[in-house]
Amino acid sequence: MKTITPNIAGVLMAATALIAVSGCSKKRPETLPPAPLNPAAGGPERTTSADPVDGAVVPGSDADFRRSVSANTVNFGLDQYDIDSTARAILDSQAEWLAKFPDRRITLEGHCDERGTREYNLALGDRRANAAKNYLVARGVDAARISTISYGKERPLALGSDDESYAQNRRAVTIVIS
């Protein structure tokens, strides 16, 4: 039987350790969706060809939408995604604006507060965005004009860990994209 020299033994041990450690490396983090295009939420200002150049609000733009509707945000109760009477009034005003501008597309962003797991909040945010979408579709808006995205708890509007902050973060936000 041949004996292994200390040099070869050290190399084999180092190679074995390297293989073992490489299997324990961290997974690359999932990439997050882009930052919200909502200046009120701290995101970058949205610019499209319909946005004002000289400060005037262009009809059909996101700025016109936010100025014309009662609100671009619908809030929800804890672990809820049903459309209540306040949400109906907001979404009715959005449906009226969208009827005036049938070529405009929107994105509905679903958001949650920080409580719960990431997966739970992504699913709840999706249900909130889709509840708002379904209501708008029932009011005559073409479903092909509406896309949805859930940010879960990843994009809070309010950064506190209290009931007031939680209430602000449980929302669906309508953004005009074109």
Domains of the chain, residue spans: 34-176
pLDDT of residue 54: 61
Predicted confidence (pLDDT) at residue 14 exceeds the cutoff of 90: no
Q: Report whether 111 contacts 155 (CB < 8 A).
A: yes
In the chain the first and final C-alpha atoms are separated, in Å, by 77
Strands 171-176 and 106-111: antiparallel
- The yes or no reply on domain 34-176 and CATH 3.20.20.140 is no
pLDDT of residue 47: 43
Predicted confidence (pLDDT) at residue 156 exceeds the cutoff of 90: yes
pTM higher than the cut 0.75: no
pLDDT in tens, 32-79: 555 555 444 444 444 444 444 567 889 999 999 999 999 999 999 999
pLDDT of residue 50: 47
Half-sphere exposure of 82 (CA within 13 A, CB side): 5
pLDDT interval class at 22 (50, 70, 90): low
Residue type, 115: R
Please compute the mean of the pLDDT values over residues 139-167 and round it to a whole number.
96
Q: Measuring CA to CA, which residue among 169, 32, 176, 55 is closest to residue 113?
A: 169
Please compute the mean of the pLDDT values over residues 160-170 and round it to a whole number.
95
Query: Encoding tokens for residue 45?
Result: 């200002």
Return mean pLDDT, the chain: 83
